[in-house]
């Protein structure tokens, strides 16, 4: 793949010569090759700082090591296949100073089987993973999935849309948008329940919806609206985090088996009521819980998002004259008044001059009395 600066990058997906990505138990390792000496720089997007990852550049080879904990690599629980997906994005810039059209962004994903092992400090010990391709899932052929847990067929999504129902990539602070969670191809007795929603930036996260499905701050996130058993919405005004122009949201989706009454369990967010009932349903063995991400959203400050309105003409117009800069335009009445006043002043001035000259010559013609 050749970019605008003349580099050829060996793509992660297309390379069959060398293993460009390795999924260790505690880090993600990746390698790229170019056809010329690399003079640019490499950045891990959303990393808390530039010192959490290691980059080694030798001529036309780039090596990257991203530790899970130090770089706060995003973790997503998966049901199909069952396990944990660790994901990070890498920006490779080929110019030493500037960001250009030839730069490339690589999304590195590693899949790890589920495990119950924990360290003494309570952190989960992951087994060695494999590169994960969400579109083709070609790498999943080497996974050994138990026959008792066949792959799930349902599909779920989390999208942010405008008032017209179109998905958006950027929004102005204060703009009305709709957060929409939905699932399809679910079982008849399954009900969708949303919990544990957070807003993520590259170096922070902020809790919006708690484990009981209730909003943590009604000033920014209203209570969720349950349309039906598998569709949930929330209408809200766009908000963001200072100095963090790009954000995305992550929520936990729970497919809960409905009760014998066939009614779906809904959150009870009144402070006076107990909230243990819904947690009991979520914690059941039959409940399927997994994480889901929204699309990235660029937050634009107020006043910078509106496009300039173009002037549309209902009929054809003919421009007879184009006035150069410095030209002053006045109405006909003003022009007549100014012209008349100028003429009157000129006439009066001329009469005064004539009168003064006449008196001067008159006194010069009078003979002296001494003669």
Give 352: exposed, middle or buried? Use CB within 10 Å, 0-12, 13-18, 19+: exposed
Residue 234 to residue 108: CA distance in whole angstroms? 31
* Dihedral Cα 238, 240, 244, 247, nearest 10 deg: -60
Whole-number Å distance between alpha carbons of 353 and 63: 95
Strands (E), 162-245: 170-172, 176-184, 190-200, 205-209, 225-228, 231-237
Q: Give the pLDDT of residue 146.
A: 44
Mapped onto helix, strand or coil, the DSSP state of residue 159 is strand
Strand partners, 225: 233
Q: What number is the average pLDDT over the span 165-189?
A: 93
What pTM, to 2 d.p., does this model score? 0.62
Strands 297-300 and 170-172 come out as parallel
- 34-48, 70-84, 119-133: which has the minimum mean pLDDT? 119-133
Asked whether 194 and 305 are in contact (CB, 8 A), the reply is no
Alpha helix positions (H), 1-80? none
Q: How far apart are CA 7 and CA 60, in angstroms?
A: 10
Confidence of residue 231 (pLDDT cuts 50, 70, 90): very high
CB contact at 8 A, 274 and 309: no
- pLDDT at site 72: 87
Region 134-143: mean pLDDT is 46
For the segment 85-133, what is each residue's pLDDT rounded down to a tens digit? 898 989 899 888 888 888 888 889 999 886 655 555 555 556 666 666 6
Confidence band of 139 (pLDDT split at 50, 70, 90): very low
Do residues 143 and 276 lie in contact, with contact meaning Cβ atoms separated by under 8 Å? no
Residue 199 reports pLDDT greater than 90: yes
Higher pLDDT, 203 or 294: 294
SS3 35: coil
Question: Is the confidence at residue 343, as pLDDT, over 80?
Answer: yes
Asked if residue 174 lies in contact with residue 302, where contact means CB atoms within 8 angstroms, the answer is: yes
* Res 353 pLDDT > 50: yes
Nearest to 7 by CA among 32, 44, 42: 32
Instruction: Name the least confident of 19-33, 114-128, 247-261, 346-360.
Output: 114-128
Q: How far apart are CA 260 and CA 278, in angstroms?
A: 16
pLDDT band at residue 141 under the 50/70/90 scheme: very low
Give the model's pLDDT for residue 152. Answer: 59
Residue 348 has pLDDT above 70, yes or no: yes
Task: Report whether pLDDT(363) > 80.
Answer: no
pLDDT of residue 188: 85
Q: What tokens were used for 46?
A: 């959303």
Tokens 């006035």 label which residue?
A: 323
Could you report the per-residue pLDDT of 255-303, keeping only the tens digit for each? 988 865 567 878 888 765 555 567 777 777 778 888 999 999 999 988 7
């Amino acid at each position: 793949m050749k970019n605008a600066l003349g580099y050829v990058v060996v793509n992660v997906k297309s390379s069959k010569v060398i293993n460009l990505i390795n999924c260790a138990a505690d880090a993600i390792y990746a390698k790229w090759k170019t056809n010329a000496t690399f003079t640019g720089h490499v950045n891990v997007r959303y990393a808390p700082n530039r010192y959490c990852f290691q980059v080694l550049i030798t001529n036309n080879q780039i090596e990257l090591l991203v530790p899970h904990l130090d770089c706060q690599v995003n973790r997503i629980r998966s049901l199909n296949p069952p396990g944990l997906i660790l994901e990070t994005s890498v920006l490779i810039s080929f110019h030493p100073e500037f960001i250009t059209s030839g730069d490339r962004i690589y999304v590195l994903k590693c899949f790890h089987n589920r495990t119950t092992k924990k360290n003494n400090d309570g952190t989960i010990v992951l087994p060695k993973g494999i590169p994960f391709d969400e579109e083709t899932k070609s790498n999943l052929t080497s996974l050994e999935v138990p026959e008792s847990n066949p792959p799930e067929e349902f599909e779920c999504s989390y999208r942010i849309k405008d008032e017209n129902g179109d998905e958006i990539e950027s929004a102005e602070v204060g703009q009305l948008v709709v957060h929409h969670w939905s699932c399809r191809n679910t079982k008849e007795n399954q009900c969708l329940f949303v919990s544990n929603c957070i807003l993520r930036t590259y170096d922070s996260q902020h809790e919006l919806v708690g484990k009981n499905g209730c909003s943590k701050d009604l000033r920014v996130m209203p209570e969720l609206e349950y349309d039906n058993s598998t569709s949930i919405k929330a209408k809200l005004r766009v908000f963001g985090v200072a100095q963090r122009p790009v954000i995305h949201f992550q929520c936990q989706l729970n497919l809960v088996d409905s009760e014998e009454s066939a009614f779906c369990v809904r959150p009870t967010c009144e402070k006076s009521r107990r909230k243990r009932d819904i947690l009991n349903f979520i914690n059941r063995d039959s409940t399927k819980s997994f994480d889901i991400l929204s699309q990235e959203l660029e937050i634009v400050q107020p006043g910078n998002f509106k496009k300039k309105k173009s002037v549309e003409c209902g009929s054809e117009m003919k421009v007879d004259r184009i006035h150069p800069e410095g030209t002053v335009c006045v109405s006909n009445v003003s022009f007549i008044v100014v012209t008349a006043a100028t003429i009157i002043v000129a006439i009066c001035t001329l009469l005064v001059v004539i009168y003064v000259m006449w008196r001067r010559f008159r006194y010069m013609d009078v003979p002296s009395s001494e003669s």
